[in-house]
A and B are shown apart, each in its own frame.
Chain A
C-alpha cells in the first residue's frame, strides 16, 4: 500500500514531468485508485513505479486511464432525466440554437441519452453537444458510440423510467455482443480533450452537465471548476450536477436557483 508521503511525491512528479495537476484531487479516492494500479501492475517498489511513470509516456497514459473513474450509464438516475425532459428541454426548445456541454463525459452514455431526448423533442437539429474529458481513451469509445449489448436491457429500463415513450431498441444496432448507437444521434456531438483543472472556458452554453466528476476533487478545485462553469454559462442557463453533489458549499450559490428536488440549478444573476 502506498503511503501519504509517496502519494504526494507522485502528485508532484506527475505535475513536473507531464504537466497534469492532481494536487486538487480528493486524496481518499486518488489514493485508492493509485493503490489499485500499483497492485494491478504488480509493483513491489515505489521508486520503480515512479520511474516508469516519469519515463514511459505510454505508462503515464495508462495511469491516466486507470486512475480516473469512468463508470457511467445511459439515463443514470432516471428521475433526473425526467426533469430534463419535461422541464428543461421545453425551455431550451424556444431558443434558435441550443448549446450543451458535458464536462467529464466519460464514454459518452450521458451524451447519447441527451441526444435521444433532444431528438424526441424535435430539437436535435438545432443543438450542439460538446463533450469533454481528460481521458483520451474514453473519448474514443464515446465517438464510436459502441457499448456492450448486455447493458441495453438496463438502459432501456432507465429510459422508460425517465419518461421515454419509444421502443429503445430503435436507437441502436446489435452486432456480436455490441450495441452501436450513432447515425443521426451523433451528428451533433463534438468530442474533445479538456482538463477542468487547467483549461479555460471555450464557449457559452445554455446547459452544462458535470455529473459525478467533481466528487473526485477537493473543495478548492470544485470551486475552480464551478467558476469555470459560471463563466461558460449564459444568463438563465442551467447547471446539472450528480445526485449527491451540491452548490451549497460554493460562493456562487446565491447566483443560482435550485430546481427542486433535483440536481439542477438555474443561473439567475
Chain B
C-alpha cells in the first residue's frame, strides 16, 4: 500500500490562495522545473474581470506554459491553468475543466473548497493540494476532502504568510501532510517531478 502511494504518479497539483498568495505563487513557480510532469491549477480569489492580467503576469514570471481556461479546456502536464474570476472551476473524469456560475461559496467564486473537492473526487491519490496565504476560511474543507481521498496536502507555514488566517485555519482543523514555506513547497514539487515514472527511469 505504502509503496503504491509513493509510486503513484502525481497528475495534478492544485494551489489555492487569497490575500498575500500571489508572491508565494510567483516564488514557487520561479523555483520549479520548466517542464513538470504534472499539471498545475491555481485557484486564487480576486476581483472579477482581471483574468488576463494575472495570466500575463504569471506568463512573464515563469517558463512553464500558462494556458487561459475556458469551459472544457483539456488539461495537459507541464502547463499552468488559472481559475477564471466569477466561475467555480470543476474537474471532469476525461481531464477537461468545467466552469460553473453557481452561488458563491465562502463568499468566493472561484471557491478553493469547490475546486479542491472536485479535484479530490476525480484525482484521488494522484493529487497534491496546497493552501497558501489568505484572509478567509476557504480551502480547509477542500484540503480535508483531498486528504480523505488519499491525496497529499500541504499548507503554507503561517509564519511565512503575509495573511496567515487561511493557513492557520486549515492547520487548526486538520493535519496536513506538510507545512512548508515557498522554498519548501518548490523543493517538494521538484521531488515529485524527479520521481515521476517517465523521469525517474
Contacts and interface: CB of A to CB of B under 8 A. Distances in A.
Do the two chains bind? yes
Interface of A: 26-29, 31-33, 69, 71, 212, 214-216, 218-219, 222, 242-246, 248-249
B174 to A, nearest CB: 17
Nearest to A219: B72
A247 to B, nearest CB: 11
Nearest to B117: A32
Interface of B: 69-72, 84, 87, 90-93, 96, 98-103, 114, 118, 121-122
A151 B81 CA distance: 32
Contact of A26 (B98, B101, B122): B98
Given A33-B102, A69-B100, A26 B118 contact: no
A5 to B, nearest CB: 13
Contacts, number: 59
A29 B70 contact: no
Residue of A31, A216, A242, A243 ringed by the most chain B CB atoms within 10 A: A243
Contacts of A28: 90-92, 98, 100, 118, 121-122
Nearest to B71: A215
Contacts of A243: 84
Contacts of B70: 244-246, 248
Given A28-B91, A244-B99, 4 more contacts: A28-B121, A29-B102, A71-B101, A219-B72
Given A27-B92, A29-B90, A32-B90, A215 B99 contact: yes
Nearest to B90: A28
B72 A222 contact: yes
Contact of A29 (B69, B93, B100, B122): B100
A30 to B, nearest CB: 10
27 contacts: A27-B92, A27-B93, A28-B91, A28-B92, A28-B118, A29-B90, A29-B100, A32-B102, A71-B102, A71-B103, A212-B101, A214-B71, A215-B71, A215-B98, A215-B100, A215-B101, A218-B92, A222-B72, A242-B71, A243-B84, A244-B70, A244-B71, A244-B87, A244-B99, A245-B70, A246-B71, A249-B72
